[in-house]
Amino acid sequence: MHIVEQLKRKAATTKARIVLPEGNDVRVQAAARSLVGVLRPILLCNPSDIAEPLPDAVEVVDPANADSAEFAQAYFELRKHKGMTLAQAQTAVRDPLVFGALMVRLGRAEGCVAGATHATRDVLRAALQIIGMADGFKIASSTFLMILPDGRPLTYGDCGMVPNPNAEQLASIAVASANTHRQLTEQTPTVAMLSFSTKGSAAHPDVSKVVEATALAQQMAPDIAIDGELQFDAAFVASVGERKAPASSVAGQANVFIFPTLDAGNIGYKITERLGGAQAIGPIIQGLAQPMHDLSRGCKAEDIMVLSLISAIQADNSG
């Protein structure tokens, strides 16, 4: 089963409501149509912005004209320590990003997908300020689900958010990425902490960071197979893993790859996509209390649809 069909099957069991704040965009409207019968899409926009009639199953809410007193009060309570007044909150909740994130926080939707017309910083600000972090997580991060040409899914993290994580942050990214892999693929995660060194083949502070992060991740999630430091070939190719790290339970078998920096992760996923012919699904944001995802402004309707499916699965698992 192709991974997208697998995601549809899993998401359809959740009956999740996914809010799409950029409902005036034709790509978002097309995604909502494709989600009918799988999820319950909610578009935020003025109904006059709908280009073509939508199925009745697609809910349309206009933040500019909605009864938002409860939302304004909730936003005020969240931000009053930063000096926000109730009047300012009443104005702010008319913003579709703020309104959509509040829908998730207040239980009016199970997830939110935005970014088709908004900058990443604005989407992440709404997610972090309103939805906040999940218990046990101090940092939000991202993964890409990489589907190889033969259909095998791999998870790469972090490729889109945290530029230079310290050891504790890298450990948190590893555990979150393992959980994401399990949720989305139904596979047991096997996690490689990547480096330019394998098991002491080089000495450098960057290597030491990965070694420390590996130990921390193992303590955080003793039920998950996590090992490092490993070079990519030792983590991915069984014969190389046997030579370079014969005592490792992860070498040569990894399906989750944790990169030591954003530079490495971003370059790595794009090489896998462009030279290796893999499909890159993401970025998938993890570590939030409830799902909210950021799209590329160059996204297609299918990208919006897939991240909506992922939001539903994450919400179901978090509950």
DSSP state of 96: H
pLDDT for the residue 200: 87
pTM: 0.86
pLDDT for the residue 76: 96
Does residue 284 lie within any of the structural domains? no
pLDDT for the residue 106: 96
pLDDT for the residue 158: 94
pLDDT for the residue 135: 85
CATH number of residue 61's parent domain: 3.40.50.10950
Same domain, 106 and 219: no
Query: Which residue stretches of the chain have pLDDT < 70?
Result: 1, 318-319
For 131-148, give one letter per residue: b (16+ CB within 10 A) or e.
Answer: beeeeebebbbbbbbbbe
pLDDT for the residue 318: 64
Does residue 16 lie within any of the structural domains? yes
CATH number of residue 160's parent domain: 3.40.50.10750
pLDDT for the residue 138: 80
**Residue given tokens 């989600």 in the structure block:** 35
Q: Tell me: the pLDDT tens digits for 256-265? A: 999 999 999 9
**Domain carrying residue 124:** 3-132+289-318
Tokens found for residue 266: 């971003």
Residues sharing a CB contact under 8 Å with residue 288, sequence separation 6 or more, in sequence order: 127, 128, 131, 132, 133, 134, 140
Same domain, 100 and 155: no
Same domain, 15 and 39: yes
Tokens found for residue 155: 């998870």
Q: Tell me: the pLDDT tens digits for 8-43? A: 999 999 999 999 999 999 999 999 999 999 999 999
List strand residue ranges (DSSP E) for 15-104, in order. 17-20, 40-44, 59-61
Same domain, 158 and 267: yes
Same domain, 114 and 80: yes
Same domain, 197 and 154: yes
pLDDT for the residue 143: 94
Alpha-carbon distance 319 to 135, whole Å? 12
